Structure 1
Amino acid sequence: MNKTLGSTLIVAGTTIGGGMLAMPLTSAGIGFGFTVFLLIALWLLLSFAALLFVELYQNAEADAGIGTLAEKYYGTFGRVLATAVLLIFLYALVAAYVAGGSSLLSVLLPTIQDKQTTSRVAGVLFTLFFGSFIVLGTSSVDKANRILFFTKFLFFILVLFLLLPKVQVDNLFEMPIDNALIIAASPIFFTAFGFHGSIPSLNKYLDGNIGALRISILAGSLIPLIAYIIWQLATHGVLSQGAFLEILKQDPTLNGLITATSAITGSEYIGVAVRIFSALALITSFLGVALGLFECLEDLLKRVHLPTNRISLGILTFLPPMLFALFYPEGFILALGYAGQMFAFYAIVLPIAMVWKLRRQYPDLPYRVMGGKPMLVAVLIIGIGIVMVPFLVQAGYLPGVFSG
């Protein structure tokens, strides 16, 4: 029972992070009602996809990773593809968090030449300081993360305590300025439910107990859904759509969210509380994802028999995302959008492809996710659709999340 509870909290802790901060930024033009609809729909979609991994682990070793599962059904090609997608996904997430971290840190630094230079210096400092915990080892990450996560929870309660009394009911009934924004925002909301990369570790921790894994996934993902809805209630209720969009057009970063809450409520305390909560949520996400990327690179290099040390692995882990943040200092939303593409493949397309073969080869396994082949096809189409969204936005067929 303790392991099941612990696994549930790991799912919840992995999910609630930096993606939560992007939600008000991307849903400002959507309205609260449609935002809640999108959250519930994506939770159902990704819970279904996560349960497919439970089905797969009925016929796999408890410590089997995603690459091992993919190799079992699709050979070396499956392992290479799964590993490549996972790496791109993790790199995109780390890049998003470095970009977001530089945005938050830059306002605390004295101006160095100009705003862009200050942001770049902030990105380097953020990466060097918090990246050092990863290089030092998992133990240092664990100790730092416990303190940060507990503090983050306290500030989340404080932010809600300050914001909820200022909610204006009329703000909650505002309609989307463009219905297509619901589709355009889906990859970023999609990524905010991204705990699937931790499922192999959870299954190993639970000693292959798929019943406990199923409970952990459902309960652990429900906690973030509730937190996200309350968070959206607070931000959408406090900020009128027009004023929020105007501020975000001037500063479409995490600082824009903080500026908006401070300006609309007239309270400096709310701005400070949101800034601290935003920083803590982003840092805890950064530490967890960066550790996963570091270990993924370490396993990959060992498999191809290349010598490594923690310093060289640290450079491979952090240099590419840091360069992204230097050249795209406002790239938090952009990187999360492209991370959503990779995550859609990793969390939906890949498990559906493996389960399709599993059911053909082992039709009598006791646990099977409901819906049969029609549900697999429907979820696959939705996943591919989410992958295509950023390309459709770039091509002008869908509006950007800050358009209008």
Structure 2
Amino acid sequence: MNRTLGSTLLVSGTMIGGGMLAMPLTSAGMGFGFTFLLLIAIWALLTFAALLFVEIYQTADHDAGIGTLSAQYFGKAGRVISTAVLMIFLYALLSAYVTGGGSLISGALDIADNDTMSKLTIVLFTLIFGAVVTIGTRSTDGLNRLLFFIMLAAFVLVLILLVPNIQFDNLLAMPIDTALFISASPVFFTAFGFHGSIPSLNNYLGGNIKALRFSIITGSLITLSAYILWQLSTHGVLSQSSFLDILKTDPTLNGLVNATLQATGSSTIAWVVRIFSALALITSFLGVALGLLDAIDDLLKRVFKTSANRLSLGLLTFLPPLLFALFYPQGFVMALGYAGQMFAFYAVILPAAIAWKARQAHPNLPYRVGGGTAALIIVAILGAIIVSIPLAIKAGYLPFVVGA
């Protein structure tokens, strides 16, 4: 039960991070009503897809990575494609969190204008929390639990402070363009992005399918509730015009914090929002980094038939996103959008395809996600649509949103 609790908090903590913090900026032109509907739709889709992985793991070793699962049903080509997409997704997501973490720290220390000091905060953020992940899953679980409950307390305090400032008229704002509902989907997808950690969680739970299923459903429901309350508060406090002004001047987490300060006139609220934002980024960083490290380990062991020590795995995990953050410090939301495109393939299309093959090979699995083959086809089509959205935005067929 202790590990089940830890896994549940890792699922929720991984999601409640950079994606959540970027969502108010991404949904600026949508209004709260459309944002609420999009949250529900994407939560349902991605929870369904995550449960497909639970079903699939009944047919594999508990320490198998996603690349190994793909190879089991689609051969070498399946491993190559799934591993490449997973690596791009996790590296992009980790790059966003490293960049965002450095931005928040430099903003808190009022050194955002000092390029050298800002880069130093990025390095320190990566070294400190990367070391925890490199040590092992148990240390990551322990720190995540501590930070998650502190973050929860900060979140409750944020809501208590923001709710009295909510203007009901702000919540009734209509979309400036209804097509934004589609354009915002990839970034919202990323906000539910815990799927890269599923292999690590399954291994941590010793292949206990019931515990993994419980962790996914409970953790995702906690996250959905937090997202709805967060969007209610930010959309209620900041008018649509205020959001759009943020996008013009400072479309970063620090800009969102400063906008909160201007809207409420309370430095206390701004500081609590900043603290909550930092904790949210750290917990997401821990979950995503753990998934990436284990994916690299799985790749080395099963493809290259070699094993690396934890220090080497740590360098392979954290050096690329650190370099991205140092040379492109303004890339937080852009990296999230790119990760969202990769994530749609990895977390939706891939599990639907593997589940289809697994059901053919193992027709009598004890646990099977409902909906049958029709549900798998619908999920795969929706995933393909999500993957194509950024391309449609660049081609001018859909309106631009932050992060796309």
Tell me if both proteins adopt one fold, taking TM over 0.5 as the criterion.
Answer: yes
CA gap of 1:202–1:298, structure 2 versus 1, over 3 A, is: closer
Please say which of residues 280-289 and 1-10 is displaced more in the overlay: 1-10
Corresponding position of 2:199: 200
CA distance in structure 2 between the partners assigned to 1:301 and 1:226 by the alignment: 38
Residues 203-214 of structure 1 aligned to structure 2 (within 5 Å): 203-214=202-213
CA RMSD, 1 decimal: 2.4
Partners of 2:9 and 2:105 in 1: CA distance: 29
Task: Tell whether the 8 Å contact from 1:252 to 1:330 is kept in structure 2 after alignment.
Answer: no
The letter for the 2-side match of 1:334 is: M
Deviation at 1:115, TM superposition (A): 5.1
CA contact (8 A) 1:164 1:234 kept: yes
**Post-superposition shift, 1:136?**
4.5
Deviation, 1:327, is: 2.8
Flag the 1:377–1:272 CA change in 2: closer, same or farther, 3 A.
same
**Counterpart of 2:174 in 1: which secondary structure?**
coil
The answer to whether the Cα contact below 8 Å between 1:247 and 1:259 also exists between their aligned partners in 2 is: no
Farther off after superposition, 373-382 or 126-135: 126-135
**Does the Cα contact within 8 Å between 2:9 and 2:148 map onto a contact in 1?**
no
Q: Give 1:13 deviation, angstroms.
A: 2.6
Which residues in structure 2 correspond to 1:363-374 (within 5 Å)? 363-374=363-374
Following superposition, the deviation at residue 7 of structure 1 comes to 3.8
- Counterpart of 2:151? 152
Q: 2:281 matched to which residue of 1?
A: 282
Query: C-alpha deviations, 1:118-175, integer Å up to 9, x for none?
Result: 5434323332333333344545444433332222111111111100111111110101
**Equivalent runs, 1:273-312 vs 2, <5 Å:** 273-303=272-302, 304-305=304-305, 308-312=308-312
**Per-residue deviation at 1:10?**
3.3
Aligned to 2:262: 263
Q: Equivalent residues in 2 for 1:15-164 (5 A)?
A: 15-109=15-109, 111=111, 116-138=115-137, 140-164=139-163
Q: In structure 2, how many angstroms separate the alpha carbons of the residues matched to 1:232 and 1:342?
A: 25
Uncovered stretches (5+) of structure 2, i.e. residues with no partner? none
Following superposition, the deviation at residue 204 of structure 1 comes to 4.0
Q: What is the identity percentage for the equivalent residue pairs of Structure 1 and Structure 2?
A: 66
Does structure 2 retain, via aligned residues, the 8 Å contact 1:248–1:257?
no
Q: Which amino acid aligns with 2:329?
A: P
Q: Is the 8 A contact 2:190 2:340 kept in 1?
A: yes
8 A contact 1:116–1:329 mirrored in 2: no
Paired with 1:372 and 1:312, the residues of 2 have a C-alpha distance of 43
Separation in structure 2 between the aligned mates of residue 125 and residue 40 of structure 1, nearest angstrom: 36
1:29–1:402 contact (8 Å) kept in structure 2: no
Q: CA deviation at 1:188?
A: 1.2
Task: Provide TM-score, normalisation by structure 2.
Answer: 0.91
Aligned: 1:221 with 2:215: no
* Deviations 1:358-378 (CA, angstroms, capped at 9, x unpaired): 223333434432222222221
Structure 1: any 5+ residue segments left out of the alignment? none
Alpha-carbon spacing, 1:85–1:159, altered in 2? closer, same or farther (3 Å): same
Q: 1:65 to 1:134 in 2, by over 3 A?
A: closer
Contact 2:196–2:292 (Cα < 8 Å) also in 1: no
1: CA distance between counterparts of 2:39 and 2:250? 25
One-letter identity of the residue aligned with 1:66: I
Change in CA separation of 1:76 and 1:98 when aligned onto 2, cut-off 3 Å: same
CA–CA separation in structure 2 for the residues paired with 1:140 and 1:200: 17
Distance 1:81 1:215, change over 3 A: same
- Whether contact under 8 Å (1:109, 1:122) holds in the other structure is no
- Are 2:395 and 1:395 equivalent residues in the alignment? yes
CA distance in structure 2 between the partners assigned to 1:49 and 1:33 by the alignment: 25
Matched AA of 1:85: V
- Deviations along 1:279-315, whole A, 9 cap, x unmatched? 1111121122223323332343344145744444333
Q: Distance in 1 between matches of 2:206 and 2:317?
A: 30
